[in-house]
Amino acid sequence: MARLLDAGAVLDRVRRDLDRTALRTRNGLKYLAGVGLPELGCSPKELVWQRDKVCLYRYESDHRSLYPPVLLVHSLVSKPYVLDLRPGNSFVEAIVGRGFDVYAIDWGIPDAVEAENTFETYCDEYLPRAAQAVLDTSAADELTVYGYCFGGVLSLLFVAGHPELPVRNLALMATPLDFSELGAFNRVLRDGRLDVDELVDETGNIPPQIILDGLRSLKATSDLASYATLLNNLDRSEHVAAHQALMGWAHDHIPFPGACFRQTVDWFVRADKLVEGRVPLGGRDVDLGSIGCPVLNVVGDADHIVPVDANAPIRNVLPHADDVHFPSGHVGLIVGTSAHKRSIPGILDWLEAHSDRA
């Protein structure tokens, strides 16, 4: 009898292993073929404003209970759907769920026409108008501006450069100020070993591959470790889908307008305008220290793209900013289990504490 039981247990185990192997093979083939890709950016939204390629979306909600509305400002080098990656793993979903009226800017994909876009284009033309569109659409008198990564830089310049606009709160997440801490790529630009003209392509923009190579150089083993983890978890379809979503986004960069890149190199890489707190925007000296509204500064202690030291000067530029650190990486601040347990609730608590019940 014991032998029969043993045989049964062995058969069960063999069956389980075979099923697991079949699942691993199926998931592996799907991954390699690029089929069955998870749906991304699923939160329902509507286009409420557009200027050139720049679109402003408002996320739908049945329970907007907090005021003022929040305007999410993303970076110029990647696509904004990371803020709304997948159902159940979405920063936008969390903010909307908390009761905020949420808007997000999509800068579009630059081509030759956008090559001449400068910081003035984004901070003096698009952002003020987008902010006004938020106020008009929500019938609001104030708004909260929330910038992520390079979007935080744009937000800083925009808010400081337009004191006439009723910005109630400013939130910055993984925002670099000291570009000398951003890795070797910045060093070669800083000391002239590489010039911007050697990087722009025929459209006048910085190709996405250059940006990706620069980011890869910050942690060269990151991709390899990620694929090893994927291989180990091929039998977990949810893990594979999450990996596809995140790695897909991480490799889905967009061209960076050449004129804006030149300014970035001149102002922030070769000079330290953000560290000094004064930026020559649109022919005027914009004083970042003049920002008087409450500021939230979110930092990921394990962020290798914008390390802690790259963000540190904010304590001098905006001494009244509320510094909040989380043990997360650059994207881990808003994506993943840890984000939804720690950083996102912390961020939302601050936003709610600086908002009113509508």
Partner 1 sequence: MAGSDPRWKQTFDRLDRALGPRVNEIMRSDEVASLMALAQRGRRELEQRSEQASRRALHWFNLPAGSDVNRLLTEIAHLEREVRDLRKQLADRDRDRDREPARREPAKREPTKRQPTKREPTNREPTNRDQTKGDGRGTTARRGSRAGQGQA
Binding site for partner 1 (CB under 8 A): 46-53, 58, 64, 67, 108, 111-113, 115-116, 129, 132-133, 136-141, 166, 183-185, 187-188, 193-194, 198-199, 202-204, 210, 213, 217-221, 224-225, 228, 231-232, 356-358
**Separation of alpha carbons 172 and 156, rounded Å:** 8
Residue 266 in tokens: 């001149």
Q: Is 236 exposed, middle or buried (0-12, 13-18, 19+ CB in 10 A)?
A: middle
| Spatial CB neighbours of 189, under 8 Å, sequence gap ≥ 6 | 195, 196, 265, 269, 270
Cβ proximity to partner 1: between 235 and 276 the closer is 235
CB of 316 to partner 1, least distance (A): 25
CB of 158 to partner 1, least distance (A): 17
Cβ proximity to partner 1: between 130 and 173 the closer is 130
| Spatial CB neighbours of 166, under 8 Å, sequence gap ≥ 6 | 135, 141, 142, 143
Whose CA is closest to 298, among 108, 153, 171, 132? 171
Cβ proximity to partner 1: between 181 and 323 the closer is 181
Residue 23 in tokens: 């699942």
CB of 353 to partner 1, least distance (A): 11
Residue 349 in tokens: 């608590």
Cβ proximity to partner 1: between 37 and 113 the closer is 113
**Separation of alpha carbons 352 and 67, rounded Å:** 9
Cβ proximity to partner 1: between 91 and 268 the closer is 268
Contact in structure between 139 and 148 (CB atoms under 8 Å): no
Cβ proximity to partner 1: between 49 and 249 the closer is 49
Cβ proximity to partner 1: between 285 and 356 the closer is 356
CB of 246 to partner 1, least distance (A): 19
Q: Is 322 exposed, middle or buried (0-12, 13-18, 19+ CB in 10 A)?
A: middle
Cβ proximity to partner 1: between 201 and 276 the closer is 201
Contact in structure between 279 and 123 (CB atoms under 8 Å): no
Residue 313 in tokens: 């000067």
Peptide bond into 68 cis (omega under 30): yes
CB of 191 to partner 1, least distance (A): 9
CB of 95 to partner 1, least distance (A): 17
CB of 107 to partner 1, least distance (A): 12
Whose CA is closest to 160, among 67, 284, 69, 60? 284
Q: What is the 8-class DSSP label of residue 130?
A: H
Q: What is the 8-class DSSP label of residue 177?
A: S
CB of 278 to partner 1, least distance (A): 27
